[in-house]
Chain A
Amino acid sequence: MIISVVIPVYSGADHLVALNEALARERQRWQTEGAPFELGEAIFVDDASIDSSSEVLRDLDEKYDWIRVVTLARNFGQHPATIAGILHTSGDWVVTLDEDLQHDSAAIESLLKIAAETNADIVYARPDGSVHGGYRDVASRMYKRLMVTLTRKTEVASFNSFRLLRGSVARAAASVSGHETYYDIALGWFTDRFESVELPMTDSRYANSAQSGYSFTKLLSHARRLVISSQAKALRAAALVGLLGVLVAMVFATRALLIQTLGSSQVEGWTSLFVAILFFGGITSLILAVILEYLTNVVLHLQGKPTFFTIDRSEDVILAEWFRDRDVRPTT
């Protein structure tokens, strides 16, 4: 079984050699232990890096035949870089991790073990404690909770750039991902077997420099793509609000009519006007939501959301057999 590792690179010159050494250690260890899987390739995607990463990668590429460098024409961002890398893989399993040593390559086995035991197609690493420290961790948790509410997808809470993906699912989702598609949401078009495992993680770059790769604007952009890619559940909420408006208008209209015809008192003010506004406003919202729902379906169809997807999990038993009684503990 071949494992492909994909690493998008933007400003990681200081970490790349150490990361490569860590991967080489794992590769060697698996070979020595006779594991039924091998690290076949590590694909570094140079996302128009702003430091000396390109030079470091060139050296690594010349030195190791299992390392491959894919150079993007300009800075496309982490998601497109990851997709580009995945589309160059040949592995049965694909691991994506960050360049900055936040993700321990020794933990790949932990992800693989969970996949083998549960027949999962996607396994996310979940930080077992503080990653960035302080308010950023709180903000990150709140952000994820908000996204779960908006998208109604519980797996969103586990989304992490350190993930293990079944190769066929990874490539299928990557091949249909457009520039505005949220890759992890696209994965959900092909499988619902998501798992996650707690692992120690530390954002060393943030810890050392108090600077994160994610600015507030980037986070907002992420949130927008995530909600839009999620078949826009918000649309259904809008339709519901519209429907509610129509119902309220009808209740008020009935009440006003009853008071006017049967009751003793007169209905005063602009009752009919307000009821009409509420009614037609609700109808308009409802119709708009229906139209947008159609539009969403058309867009998803064009994006390549599949009608069905076949998968072969028959080799998971080999992995499960290997991991049985084997103590796999991630290191820090």
Chain B
Amino acid sequence: MFVLRPNPATLLPTVALFGVGLIGSAISQHLVRSAGYRYSRFPFDWNQPKSQSNQMEQAMLEIGSRKQVVFVWAAGSGGFTLTSSAAAAEQTAFGVVLRAAERCAQGQSAKVPFHLLSSAGGLYEGQRLIGPNTPIRPLREYGRLKQAQETDLLDCSNLAARIYRPTSVYGLISSTGARGLIPTLVSNGLSQTVTTLFGGRQTLRDYVPVGDVGRFISQCIQDPTAAAISPMILASGRPVTLDEVISIVEQQLRRRLLVAVGPQTNAHNITFRGGTSPEGFSTADMTTGIRLVYNQWLQQGVWRQRFPHAG
């Protein structure tokens, strides 16, 4: 976990961030670059439930002197392929953090903000033209886990729940290399290796760049006036087929991609109505987003690290 401390001269809250994967990294990057936060890393062993409470206590002692603390849960591994045992482990860890947040709220007049990164894909899989009133209908373990986390959070009366349901988020993290479909297509396109697709080429999805999601959430975190609000869907509202994604990546790379079609384990359409996302959330179009991933890929030297013999 990361603890992000603001500049002492400001009134900004301290942020306890759990999970520094794709979205967690983007949030912390925005807080550091745009708001002058400084981060320190604390151990939080995802696979050892017994040590989680102690580790949490240590972190809370460190944070304790600060009045304002904001909790952000951006953890989660496995995505759509999450197994039931992994889901149970994640739910246990989430419970530990939730209890710590509740303890933090005790004795405070205001509710403690808790930002939860849920998943629109997991909750609405297989549905189209999703709007704010569309019922949740998870089809897999991953979606059911996210639903359970949302319910648990909303049950905590002394926490101000802010739930985000981002759609298919894409982007790149320098520390881990490629993540998700689009960076994988860029990476494999550059190295001319075959990408196996687990969805139909006409499968419709709604892609949002991780930078836009990170910026929006980091702004929400810094807003001291924000109260608990209903879950926010973070979508572009523009459905895109896999074929179109491939076509845009090919245009950016100026070369054909090698694509094979695997078992259709992830072929449900998930699309959203326009205007579903909250005010203040805007996304770059696909071409710009993919160009950003490509440029980032080249700038960060990931490509050179992976292919040291290339010219």
| Chain A residues within CB distance 8 Å of chain B | 2, 40-41, 61, 65-66, 68-70, 87-90, 168, 171-172, 175-176, 304, 310
Contact = CB atoms under 8 A, between A and B. Distances in A.
B238 A88 contact: yes
B274 A68 contact: yes
Nearest to A91: B128
Given A2-B128, A90-B271, 20 more contacts: A61-B275, A65-B273, A66-B129, A87-B244, A88-B237, A88-B238, A88-B274, A89-B239, A90-B129, A90-B239, A90-B269, A168-B241, A171-B241, A171-B243, A171-B244, A172-B241, A175-B244, A176-B247, A310-B200, A310-B202
Contacts of B244: 87, 171, 175
A171 B204 CA distance: 10
A203 to B, nearest CB: 30
Contacts of B129: 2, 40-41, 66, 90
Contact of A171 (B128, B202, B274): B202
Q: For the complex, would chain A's binding face be called helix, strand, loop or mixed by DSSP majority? A: mixed
Given A40-B128, A176-B247, A304-B247, A68 B241 contact: no
Interface string B273-298: 11100000000000000000000000
Interface in B120-146: 128-129, 131
30 contacts: A2-B128, A2-B129, A40-B128, A40-B129, A41-B273, A66-B129, A68-B237, A68-B273, A68-B274, A68-B275, A70-B274, A87-B238, A87-B240, A87-B244, A88-B237, A88-B239, A88-B274, A89-B239, A90-B204, A90-B239, A171-B241, A171-B243, A171-B244, A172-B202, A172-B241, A172-B243, A175-B241, A175-B244, A175-B247, A310-B202
A175 B238 contact: no
Interface residues of B, number: 20
Contacts of B238: 87-88
Interface of B: 128-129, 131, 200-202, 204, 237-241, 243-244, 247, 269, 271, 273-275
B167 to A, nearest CB: 13
A168 B199 CA distance: 14
Contacts of B237: 68, 88
Nearest to A306: B243
A2 B128 CA distance: 9
A310 B201 contact: yes
Nearest to A2: B128
A177 to B, nearest CB: 11
The 5 lowest CB-CB distance pairs between A and B, nearest first, are: A90-B271, A175-B244, A168-B202, A90-B128, A68-B274
A171 B240 CA distance: 9
Contacts of A89: 239
A46 to B, nearest CB: 13
B241 to A, nearest CB: 5
A69 B204 CA distance: 20
Contacts of A90: 128-129, 204, 239, 269, 271
B295 to A, nearest CB: 22
Contact of B131 (A65, A168, A176): A65
A41 B276 CA distance: 14
Contacts of B201: 310
Nearest to A90: B271
B137 to A, nearest CB: 16
A68 B237 CA distance: 10
A175 B202 CA distance: 11
Contacts of B271: 90
Nearest to A301: B256
Nearest to A88: B238
A105 B251 CA distance: 37
A66 B204 CA distance: 18
A310 B131 CA distance: 30
B199 to A, nearest CB: 13
Contacts of B128: 2, 40, 90
Contacts of B200: 310
A234 to B, nearest CB: 28
A316 to B, nearest CB: 16
A88 B204 CA distance: 11
A69 B269 CA distance: 22
Contacts of B273: 41, 65-66, 68
A71 B117 CA distance: 31
A165 B244 CA distance: 18
B206 to A, nearest CB: 9
Nearest to A65: B131
A304 B275 CA distance: 31
A79 to B, nearest CB: 18
